[in-house]
Structure 1
Amino acid sequence: MPVEDIQRQEASALSGVRVLDLSRLIAGPYAAQLLGDLGAEVIKVEKPGSGDDTRASTVQGRGHYDGQAPSPFFESVNRNKRSIAVDLRAADGQQLVRDLAARADVLIENFRAGTLARYGLDEATLRSFNPRLIYCSVTGYGQSGPKANAPGVDPVFQAQGGLMSAFVGKDGSALSGRLALTVTDLVTGQNAASSILAALYERERSGVGQYIDVALLDSTLALMSHVAQHFLITGDAPRGTQLLGGDSGFSGIITCADGALMVVAVRQHHFEALVGALGKPELALDKRFATRRDRGRNAATLQPLLDALVVNRQVADVAATLEEKLPVGIVNDIAAAFDDPQAVHRGLKVDVGSDDRLAPGVASPLRLTRTPPAYHRRPPALGEHSMEILRDELRLSAARSAQLVRSGVVA
């Protein structure tokens, strides 16, 4: 490890923890990035030539991504890592990864169940010579069961895990939809990172690592939280306003002249403050809206009455009027979200890297006071650190490293 990285890590929560990231796409790499932000030394193993699948993923927008610029998908989950490109199909490549695993504290992978066993890179093999290794597998359906070997990506689990049914229209109607955000991947990555941290803590007592099996299906159903619990208690699958609870009061979006505002007026005093501030205090006395349950039952009637009170007003003015009285938030796009004064104050947009090629990034949500997250490495180019890792981590000679490159095992 370079000296400057060692110095940076001395003040990090996960200083000295070595992570070998064999995962691709979003969930596994996000877990590794969370650990890297906290100071773990992360080595990302990629396929020569193409690398992580997300390197080729781009988005439309102002011509920024023309096939040559960085992929926002890759950049969002791969900072604070070094990249080595290794052909896992080659015996020499498999041995290189085994050698790296022998020195690692954590390994993260998201191959289909059983794939890495064919390469001698499964948990049983690697932990036979490194019993302290924490081996985390991230898959769609887990390591066992009728769908263990089935392919699956984020939208599949949004559908299969019930998330697509958990949408509510402005009028309280039940909707079906998909979040464009890869939410099931991200929550699975957080679950993987949490499991790894728990295993590292337990290893301090037992002295040995363990196997972690994290699945997108499991994570999505857990994410359903109170919606799932509603079903488990009642046997009914909630839809529409039922998702918010039968006595939810008013919780919805009101439409202003230049934008929309999310308003949560569930408690009685919040509703009274809402209609009072909007100049219609008599609505709190209307028998249709007199109680929290009444407002929930008659939300479709209440909605247009509230819209009419703000239709000619600026959303920022309405928000300023209400925000000290009840929970409200302007419905932002991502540009406006970053420009929000509170987001600016919290420093939610950061520069990643320490050289003249800084990359923009979103700040880690993990705010530790003594050992805060750091952003010392921008997302790596494919194989950017291959020679460095062969030399410094595996102690290979220049001649042996060159031979591995010539043979195509390393790039």
Structure 2
Amino acid sequence: MAYDPPLSGVRILDLSTGPMTAVGRLLADLGAEVTPVDLRGVTGQATIGPHVDAVPLGTAIDRHGMRSVAVDPTTAGGRRRWTKMLADADILIESTRPGSAAEAALDVHRIHADHPACVILSLSDFGRDTDFSGWQATTPVLHALTSELSRSGIPGREPLVPPGDRLPYQVAAAQAAVMVLSVYLDRLRTGAGDLIDFSILDGAMAALDPPFGTAGTASVGVPISAQRRDWNAERQRYPIVACKDGHVRICLLAKRQWRGMFEWMGSPIEFADPRFDSLRERFASPTLLAAIERFCADKTRAELEVAGQRHGVPTAAVLTLDEALATEQVRERGFLRDAELAPGVAAPVPVGVTEIDGVRASALNAPVDRPARTVSAPVLSGRPRRDEGLPLEGLRVLDLGVIVVGSDTGRLFGDLGADVVKIENSAYPDGLRGNLKYMTQGFAAGHRNKRSIGIDLRSRRGRALAHRLVAQSDVVLTNFKPGVAETLGMDHATLRTVNPGIVVVDSSAFGPTGPWAKRLGYGPLVRAAAGFTAAWVYPGEPDTFCDTVTVYPDHVCARIGTLAALAVLLRRERTGTGGSVSVAQSEVMLSHLGADIAADVLQRRGHQRCDRPQHDAPWGLFPAAGADAWVAVTVRDDADWAALCATIERPDLHTDPELADSAGRDRHRARIDGAVRAWTTTRCPKEAMERLQAAGVPAGAVLHAADVPEWGYYVQRRAFREELHPHGAEPFTMENAQIHAERVADPPLGQAPLLGEQTRQIAAELLGLSDPQIDELLAAGVLEIIQP
């Protein structure tokens, strides 16, 4: 069967410039017809590097394969053309700066009134509905204000900005794409579009490393919101140990993994005490890590990977980016392909970040002939609707996902109105749960707005019940260990025989094919194998690995999986059939480095990089008054430089001819940093931030997680809410508003369930079972309810 790109026929006008052109790239790779528009008086000229042979590679990759048009709405012909383009569009994306002449000229509110069926995605750094709408962001500023930097780096030193010059924008782009596509899917059945006020800061906070989101098992039950930079803890969580030819990262979280490590080391008597079966005891040991380091010192990375897998100890070599790209896994999966980005400039670019029906979802793979445009939603239009202002009302999702990426994918569907049913069993509980009889903050955050049914999928009767649920559902979510879905009969090949319209999403570490397909995938090990861990270090200090506390890329991978599932649901409206979605977490990460990969290859091929320095000065983190207090200060151009000099009352710097341009400021970066440091150290981070932002200089206080919900910006954006869970020890702070739009409500207030809490309800409602039948299945262990 020929590949059918799921968003074929969807027409998108893209007026965005700068780093958020990544939204259009994601939608184009799923098949949408994205047309970049140069609208006179509205669109800017911001491009994204690195620059090679004067080609802005980030922009060139995002716009590759798209046909741009220029429109002058100041002429009568231009106005007619623009009006017709808007009438034909399904989605409009724009990124004018709030309060600017461009924003006024575009007037999205008038467009929304004149074209009510169009879905408008209005992008800005801080949203358009708060007192902060005029503030400006850069990558360090976004990392600071999401609280990511409070967990990155060595205590006592400046926080460490993660690799990837566009990283917060790219994860925010995934969030934005999910939101716009969910609203568009709803528009197909209601006929009504909407105007989405999307804040890049909101998207970065939610999709990179959310302070009140789910946390992995390496957190040892400590929520992200309570974590700070802790070098010793970093070395204990997924420890990185030196070996003969570099470093490896190992996972010793589970009891079985520790037992495998103990046997692998030759069963040393020093660690034979059963107390070492406890994760907390292993963390507390003053000698265990040193013993592991001695054991690994004379072995190569390859030897340790093979032996670790043999003993059931997940082990990954810490690879550089070049090493990661050279692996057989990346080559066999065809993640990169050369594309002409400009005349005479061909470079490898990512071939999409998902697979749809086994084919890499990319504009590079799109067939020449496209199907007709989808203009209605015959499947969803027949579903009952509660009219609660949630775009995914009427959908049913079966959630078999676990830990972070699994929980967050289903939670997104639930927050947007779908009926999400989590299938689980106490024999193999979700590692995010911890104790089955009470609720943790992480589980509550990832599994709100879901119901839970306990089913033993290992039994024939349990699988039959699950298949009956599949027959009544739209989406199945999985991120099992390799081979488990097939064993349980919950893979797409099996489920499409049960329900031809089902959409099955599978998320794995390295993808379903290639020599690493069967590798266990824990986020930190995937980062190590994809080159991220080796890059997440202080400059010139290659052993200062600082990526352990972060949960990246789990949350953004959840967005990518949700986005692809929505796209296939949209395709189902014109074909009647579902499909499969596969997400490789390693490839999502590598896609975030796509422009850097292209630049490195082009330079090796003899092309000239021409954007040095990469950043103006100052650009980085500066100490402020207070303990572990920091502020990000960034200058982008001469205007920012003038505003900075005025704010810190250093006119001598502004008039110094040596500092008149970015090249000069780069040569004197240490001197400039010293002047900024002298100013920031006498002020608290928020005062420094507010004064600089008032002058137009992008700046951000490094917020700790506990600071985030109370900061005025997040309060005004309704970003968080407090929940008192009946099985929780204390109130939980939870994320709140997902979409800021006139027709979309905040997420429902459904609380995360205990295991099997709604087993009886679901068995009766969806499976049609009587009380005696349910009692018999409970007694047989086919169904399950955990009593608190």
> Scaled by the length of structure 1, what TM-score is found?
0.87
Q: 1:338 to 1:353 in 2, by over 3 A?
A: closer
Q: 1:364 to 1:166 in 2, by over 3 A?
A: farther
Q: Aligned pair 1:51/2:401, yes or no?
A: no
2:575 to 206, 211, 232: 206
Q: 1:13 to 1:128 in 2, by over 3 A?
A: same
Aligned residue number for residue 719 of structure 2: 348
Q: Is the 8 A contact 1:44 1:84 kept in 2?
A: yes
What is the identity, as a one-letter code, of the residue corresponding to 2:614? D
- Partners in 2 of 1:234 and 1:372 — Cα distance? 49
Aligned residue number for residue 661 of structure 2: 291
Deviations 1:31-65 (CA, angstroms, capped at 9, x unpaired): 111111110110001122563110118xxxxxxxx
SS of the equivalent of 1:51 reads coil
- Partners in 2 of 1:344 and 1:362 — Cα distance? 11
Q: Aligned pair 1:38/2:408, yes or no?
A: no
Shift of 1:225: 4.6
Aligned residue number for residue 525 of structure 2: 156
Q: Aligned pair 1:328/2:695, yes or no?
A: no
Shift of 1:284: 2.7
Q: 1:201 to 1:7 in 2, by over 3 A?
A: closer
Q: Is the 8 A contact 2:718 2:737 kept in 1?
A: no
Shift of 1:181: 2.5
- Partners in 1 of 2:707 and 2:540 — Cα distance? 26
Aligned residue number for residue 239 of structure 1: none
Q: 1:122-201 counterparts in 2 under 5 A?
A: 122-167=491-536, 169=538, 176-178=545-547, 180-201=549-570
- Partners in 1 of 2:771 and 2:442 — Cα distance? 34
- Partners in 2 of 1:211 and 1:383 — Cα distance? 27
What is the identity, as a one-letter code, of the residue corresponding to 1:181? T
SS of the equivalent of 1:20 reads strand
Shift of 1:387: 0.8
Structure 2 unmatched ranges of 5 or more: 1-383
Q: 1:167 to 1:51 in 2, by over 3 A?
A: closer
Q: Is the 8 A contact 1:157 1:220 kept in 2?
A: no
Deviations 1:218-271 (CA, angstroms, capped at 9, x unpaired): 1111233543443344359xxxxx9x9633102112222223211111211101
Q: Is the 8 A contact 1:351 1:359 kept in 2?
A: yes
Q: Is the 8 A contact 2:474 2:502 kept in 1?
A: yes
- Partners in 1 of 2:738 and 2:622 — Cα distance? 29
Shift of 1:8: 4.8
Aligned residue number for residue 61 of structure 1: none
- Partners in 1 of 2:528 and 2:672 — Cα distance? 31
Give the superposed CA RMSD.
2.7
Q: Is the 8 A contact 1:9 1:16 kept in 2?
A: no
What is the identity, as a one-letter code, of the residue corresponding to 1:252? G
- Partners in 2 of 1:180 and 1:245 — Cα distance? 32
- Partners in 1 of 2:719 and 2:464 — Cα distance? 41
1:247 to 605, 614, 625: 614
What is the identity, as a one-letter code, of the residue corresponding to 1:300? A
Q: 1:207 to 1:389 in 2, by over 3 A?
A: same
- Partners in 2 of 1:54 and 1:12 — Cα distance? 27
Shift of 1:371: 2.3
SS of the equivalent of 1:107 reads strand
Shift of 1:144: 0.6
Q: Aligned pair 1:314/2:684, yes or no?
A: yes
Moved more, 253-262 or 195-204: 253-262
What is the identity, as a one-letter code, of the residue corresponding to 2:748? Y
Aligned residue number for residue 767 of structure 2: 394
Moved more, 201-210 or 159-168: 159-168
Shift of 1:381: 0.9
What is the identity, as a one-letter code, of the residue corresponding to 1:164? T
Aligned residue number for residue 87 of structure 1: 456
Q: 1:366 to 1:338 in 2, by over 3 A?
A: same
Q: 1:383 to 1:245 in 2, by over 3 A?
A: farther
Q: Aligned pair 1:383/2:751, yes or no?
A: no
What is the identity, as a one-letter code, of the residue corresponding to 2:586? L
Shift of 1:282: 1.6
Q: Aligned pair 1:224/2:597, yes or no?
A: no
Q: Is the 8 A contact 1:51 1:85 kept in 2?
A: no
Moved more, 80-89 or 222-231: 222-231
What is the identity, as a one-letter code, of the residue corresponding to 1:82? R
Q: Aligned pair 1:23/2:23, yes or no?
A: no
Q: Is the 8 A contact 1:268 1:291 kept in 2?
A: yes
- Partners in 1 of 2:423 and 2:604 — Cα distance? 46
- Partners in 2 of 1:69 and 1:386 — Cα distance? 17
Aligned residue number for residue 403 of structure 1: 776
Q: Is the 8 A contact 2:569 2:578 kept in 1?
A: yes
What is the identity, as a one-letter code, of the residue corresponding to 2:623? T
Q: Is the 8 A contact 2:482 2:520 kept in 1?
A: no
- Partners in 2 of 1:82 and 1:126 — Cα distance? 21
- Partners in 2 of 1:129 and 1:70 — Cα distance? 34
Deviations 1:184-236 (CA, angstroms, capped at 9, x unpaired): 11111010011111111111111110110111111111233543443344359
Shift of 1:363: 1.9
Q: Alignment length, in residue pairs?
A: 390
Q: Aligned pair 1:12/2:380, yes or no?
A: no
SS of the equivalent of 1:77 reads helix
Shift of 1:351: 4.2
Q: Is the 8 A contact 1:272 1:284 kept in 2?
A: yes
Moved more, 144-153 or 293-302: 293-302
Q: Is the 8 A contact 2:424 2:453 kept in 1?
A: yes
Q: 1:95 to 1:55 in 2, by over 3 A?
A: same
Q: 1:395 to 1:339 in 2, by over 3 A?
A: same
Q: 1:229 to 1:73 in 2, by over 3 A?
A: farther
What is the identity, as a one-letter code, of the residue corresponding to 1:256? A
> Scaled by the length of structure 2, what TM-score is found?
0.47
Aligned residue number for residue 303 of structure 1: 673
- Partners in 1 of 2:725 and 2:432 — Cα distance? 24
Aligned residue number for residue 474 of structure 2: 105
Moved more, 183-192 or 115-124: 115-124
Q: Is the 8 A contact 2:438 2:727 kept in 1?
A: no
- Partners in 2 of 1:371 and 1:290 — Cα distance? 48
SS of the equivalent of 1:273 reads helix
Aligned residue number for residue 647 of structure 2: 277
